[in-house]
Each structure stands twice: as C-alpha cells, then as structure tokens.
Amino acid sequence: MHFITTQRLSTADETVFGILQREFTRQATHLEMIASENFTSPAVMEATGSIFTNKYAEGYPQKRYYGGCAYADEIEQLAIERLCEIFGCAYANVQPHSGSQANGAVYAALLNAGESLLGMDLQQGGHLTHGAKVSFSGKNYHAFSYGVGANGLIDYAQVMEVAKRVKPKILVCGASAYAREIDFAKFREIADAVGAILLADIAHIAGLVAADEHMSPFPYAHVVTSTTHKTLRGPRGGVIMTNDEAIAKKINAAIFPGIQGGPLLHVIAAKAVAFGEVLTPQWKAYAKQVKRNARVLSEVLLQRGFELVSGGTDNHLILVSLLGRDFSGEEASIALENAGITVNKNSVPNDTRSAKLTSGVRIGSAALTTLGMKEKEFRHIAHRIGDVLEEVHNTALHVKIKKELVALLQNFQLYGCATY
C-alpha cells in the first residue's frame, strides 16, 4: 500500500482547496493593479507544481552533492541559458528564492560586514534591500541613500555628490516605486568616479528591459539582480546576472553554500518556462502594451487633477501622491479594494505620514495587460479610480463601481474560467 494519498487536492484536503478556490475567485473578480504582481501562464504554474518538488540538488549543474540530478542539471542549465539569451549576459544564477535573496547574495559576495553601500532611499522609491535601516542591508552594512529631486526624478548630480562623499563599495540603482526610466550609463559614470561596483536591481522593469522597452543595465552594471514574478511574469523567485567571471564565481558561492541550501527545482523549472515565453515574438507586443496602458492611467488621473510623483510614467507603474489630502494611502487602498481594484499603499517623497499609513498609492498595468486589456479598458478603469479617490468614504459608490468592474472582467476571465 502507498503511504501517501493519491487523491486530488479537492478531496484530499477540502480545507486548503476551499482557501485556494476563494483566492482564485478574488483574483478573478478584482482588477489586479499591484505593480509587483502579474498572472503567470498555466504552463508556469504546472511547472511550479511539478515532480521536481520532490528533488534535492544542492550545488550546481554537474557539481551536485546529491545523486539522481541528471534532469535537475538539465532544467537548471536550460533556465540559465534562456536567461542569458534574454539579457545578453555571460553568467547567471537562477537559484535565489527571491529578489531580496538575490541582493543579499550580491552583498555577501562583494561586501564585508560594515562596508558601505549607496542605494535609493525607501521613501523616495527604493527597496528595503537597498540599505533601509530595518533591512539586513541597513543592519549588516554601512548604508547611505540618495533620492529624487523636487520634480520626482532621480537627481544624478545629487547621487554623484553623495557617492563622492561616502565612497561606497557598491552603488545600487533600481527602484520599487519609480515611474521613470533609469539611466544606467549615468550610474556607471558615478560608480567609476568613486571606484564602486554598480549593482542594477531591475526587479520591476525586467520584462520591459527584455523587450527593449527600457534601457538595459548591460553593459553598464557589474552585476544585475531581478525577481522573476513581476513584469517577467514567471514564478516567485530571483536571479543574478553578470558578465564578470570572477564576480559570477563569488556570487555562486554566496548563494550556495553561503545563504541558501537546496535550490527549489520546481520553481527553477517554472523560471525556464517563463523565460521561454519571454523569448517569443509576442513578448515585445505585451511589453509595449504594458507601457501604453500605464500611460493612459497617468494621463487620465492627471487630467482629473491628481498629483503623480514625477508627473507621469515611462514604465509599468504610476505613483499617486495624496500629500495634502485628508485621507491616507491606506484609506485609499481600502476604498479601491472595496470597489474591486487591488493596489497597494506606498510612501511618497517627503511623506508626512507613517509607513503604515503612507501618502500614496502605487498602481501597475502589467497584470491586467496580461488578461488582454488595452487603452480603452484602462481609460475606463482610470476614471473609476478617480471616482473612488474623489469620494474615498462613499461606500455606496464603491459597491456600485465594483459591480460594474466585475462585469467588465467577465470579458477577460482569468485562465478562461471562473472556478479553480
């Protein structure tokens, strides 16, 4: 007899299946507009739940500490080759469990405890792992920050001034809530001026970079990190890339045995599937539409009198500033969710509210573009966002808008069905 159930989840564990069903329903009945989220293909999900979840494979292809890794080697090597082809780099590590793990590995490989790094301030649009004091990046290393000017754009002169003053060993560029194109060439000039290693974190914009819809960090960055689940539309995970063989070897050692044990082969298999999708001709059309849709969001909200940090967008997101308004980002995000629109509260430059409340909301276009929505739908949605933000406490209006938007979503059903 087997000592493991062979039943499907729906009968093997009705409790868990019920939760999954409810989450599926939530995703299928809300407009997913969190800038860091997307919808994977069924093929990516199939690989994520594949037989590779049973396999341990500490080490790297052809250099494992376990037997039975022939196919593990094959799938990981395929993911590496596809990722290198996408971004035109020589070396890649596809084992990081997340973008934070990827950044942590770069620091572990190239920094000693207490050495300095310079990254974008969290409140100004950066990420926790770019030196925030509450993160390991701010606790283990001597972290400094740069920000944006009064116009909401990165002030490269200020970055140069700070870099010359603090002389970081690593200069981090990339952002979590920045709506404009990042000039990697300028960042490399700054890094060279102070003898720093340039780390480009492209977690948010990787899918656009892959389609030549955003400047590439290569050949400017010494090392590049990314997540795979945002605009790359893959499983949740991270990657690290470089053209420097010496850096690649240090990073490999930092991931394993440095900060991780066995790789998640089922996730790596799903990464390979997602990278294969990025290499298709359809990807460029998708990335172009992501940008067009974000631009429509920005145009409508600006026309309706809302303030956007940096005044617009060049990528997949907008950051709406609520400074001076009598409601917070948290209140706005709750109101929007009640209206069937899922976004996230977000700090804005010179925020006067706490990180728990914030004075902004971040809105992205990648997920709804995956469902097939274009400018017409995004113009309609932008007006509904404006309606909610103009009447944040009008719950009756929110209920009415949600009914309307659920009807809209019926034309763009998630995975072509309404049940899990």
Express each pLDDT in 167-205 by its tens digit.
999 999 999 999 999 999 999 999 999 999 999 999 999
pLDDT exceeds cutoff 70 at 390: yes
- The reply to whether 230 belongs to the active site is yes
What residue ranges define each of the domains in the chain, with the CATH number in brackets? 27-35+283-416 (3.90.1150.10), 48-278 (3.40.640.10)
pLDDT exceeds cutoff 60 at 419: no
Average pLDDT over residues 134-157: 96
Interval 315-357: pLDDT, tens: 999 999 999 999 999 999 999 999 999 999 999 999 999 999 9
Among 21-25, 200-204, 265-269, 379-383, the least confident range: 21-25
DSSP tag of 355: T
pLDDT confidence bin for 420, thresholds 50/70/90: low
Distance, first Cα to last Cα, the chain? 30
CA distance 34 to 317: 9
Average pLDDT over residues 73-89: 98
Sequence-ordered strand ranges (E) for 82-133? 91-93, 116-120
Tokens representing residue 168 in the block: 């970081």
Q: Where are the alpha helices (DSSP H) in 30-129?
A: 42-48, 70-87, 99-110
Average pLDDT over residues 265-294: 98
pLDDT exceeds cutoff 90 at 269: yes
- The reply to whether 8 belongs to the active site is no
Neighbours of 182 (CB within 10 A): 24
Q: Which of 13, 29, 37, 58 is catalytic?
A: 58
What's residue 3's pLDDT? 84
- The reply to whether 236 belongs to the active site is yes
With contact defined as beta carbons under 8 Å apart, do 206 and 231 qualify?
yes
Amino acid at 293: N
What's residue 1's pLDDT? 64
Q: Which of 56, 65, 71, 156 is catalytic?
A: 56
One-character DSSP codes across 291-321? HHHHHHHHHHHHHTT-EEGGGS-SSSEEEEE
With contact defined as beta carbons under 8 Å apart, do 126 and 132 qualify?
yes
Average pLDDT over residues 103-128: 96
What's residue 415's pLDDT? 78
Q: Which of 225, 227, 231, 358 is catalytic?
A: 227
Average pLDDT over residues 216-239: 98
SS3 content of the chain, % helix, strand, coil (to 5): 50, 15, 40
What's residue 112's pLDDT? 94
pLDDT exceeds cutoff 70 at 110: yes
Backbone angles phi and psi of 385, in degrees to 5: -60, -45
What's residue 5's pLDDT? 80
What's residue 6's pLDDT? 83
Neighbours of 420 (CB within 10 A): 17
pLDDT exceeds cutoff 80 at 150: yes
Q: Which of 169, 188, 236, 402 is catalytic?
A: 236
- The reply to whether 390 belongs to the active site is no
pLDDT exceeds cutoff 80 at 208: yes
Q: Which of 55, 64, 180, 230 is catalytic?
A: 230
